[in-house]
């Protein structure tokens, strides 16, 4: 494996069958290819409403990516059984191993974490949840003492004013790891903005931002954001974000 790798980060695709959203994703994926991304991380809300056909659409969009070069985690919009069935079937099945198990890339390790809160009430349907079963704490600690370690999840552990309604339940567990392990990073979405909060890195929504791709140059003991839009985006934006021309 290479000593340093380029990790690409996209999130909040909200695919809904529309041509415009599919084109936004296709444009972002093409840019990732042009910028020589070694491994791509998609951090949830892949679909607008968890329909099987939208995961099939994602599989088609990723047709030129190698099986071992993509990690996909679900978000709160990906509830129900369709995402899990897609990872076991023809739509996304070839990415199952890199999306359900730790990914060892030599100079770094990626832990995909599913933060869906299946038992949440309807009024709290945007909540995420983290616990012992989906956060392999001993394995993360072991890895992060030797190399850069990434937790890829939809809901980040940061706090915000609406966290009671749409935040991450159990975020203290992940924040405790961040406090203990200097080699640990979190890549997440859900916020629809480009943010760097300590070692928590959030990407903007593919569906709502003109330039959602983030890149990080990662080595065994290094992590450096190398590409992101200068426009942060809007929290839970409902429309496209204007990107001024140079």
Q: Residue with structure tokens 């998609």?
A: 42
pLDDT bin (cut points 50, 70, 90) of residue 234 is confident
Supply 100's token pair: 């359900």
Q: What angle do CA 129, 56, 49 make, to 5 degrees?
A: 45
Whether 236 is covered by a domain: the verdict is no
CA 202 – CA 183 distance, rounded (Å): 17
Whether 206 is covered by a domain: the verdict is yes
Domain range spanning residue 25?
5-227
CA 182 – CA 147 distance, rounded (Å): 10
CA 66 – CA 18 distance, rounded (Å): 25
Q: In what order do the strands lie in the sheet with 200-202?
A: 103-104, 108-112, 148-152, 184-188, 200-202, 195-197
State pLDDT tens for residues 133-151.
Answer: 899 999 999 999 999 999 9
Tally the domains of the chain: 1
Whether 233 is covered by a domain: the verdict is no
pTM of the entire predicted model: 0.94
* pLDDT score at 236: 59
CA 6 – CA 41 distance, rounded (Å): 11
| 104 or 243, greater pLDDT | 104
State pLDDT tens for residues 60-85.
Answer: 999 999 999 999 999 999 998 999 99
Whether 181 is covered by a domain: the verdict is yes
CA 108 – CA 60 distance, rounded (Å): 28
Whether 240 is covered by a domain: the verdict is no
- Write the CATH number for 10: 3.60.21.10
Q: What average pLDDT does the structure give for the chain?
A: 92
pLDDT at position 1 over 60: no
Whether 41 is covered by a domain: the verdict is yes
State pLDDT tens for residues 84-110.
Answer: 999 999 999 999 999 999 999 999 999
Whether 119 is covered by a domain: the verdict is yes
Whether 103 is covered by a domain: the verdict is yes
CA 63 – CA 204 distance, rounded (Å): 23
């Amino acid at each position: 494996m290479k000593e340093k790798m380029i990790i690409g980060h996209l999130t909040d695709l909200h695919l809904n069958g529309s041509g415009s959203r599919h084109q936004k994703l296709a444009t972002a994926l093409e840019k990732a290819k042009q910028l020589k991304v070694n491994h791509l991380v998609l951090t949830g809300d892949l679909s607008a409403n968890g329909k099987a056909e939208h995961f099939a659409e994602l599989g088609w969009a990723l047709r030129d990516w190698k099986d071992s070069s993509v990690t996909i985690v679900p978000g709160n919009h990906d509830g129900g059984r369709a995402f899990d069935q897609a990872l076991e079937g023809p739509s996304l099945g070839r990415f199952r191993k890199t999306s359900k198990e730790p990914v060892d890339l030599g100079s770094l390790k990626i832990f995909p974490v599913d933060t869906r809160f299946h038992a949440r009430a309807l009024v709290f349907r945007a909540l995420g949840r983290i616990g012992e079963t989906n956060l392999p704490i001993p394995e993360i600690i072991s890895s992060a003492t030797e190399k850069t370690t990434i937790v890829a999840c939809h809901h980040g552990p940061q706090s915000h004013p609406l966290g009671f309604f749409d935040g991450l339940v159990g975020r203290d567990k992940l924040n405790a790891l961040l406090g203990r392990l200097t080699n640990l990073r979190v890549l997440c979405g859900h916020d629809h903005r480009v943010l760097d909060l300590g070692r928590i890195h959030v990407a903007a929504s593919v569906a709502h931002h003109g330039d959602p791709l983030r890149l990080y140059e990662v080595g065994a003991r290094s992590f450096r954001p190398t590409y992101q839009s200068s426009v942060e985006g809007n929290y839970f934006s409902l429309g496209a974000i204007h990107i001024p021309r140079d």
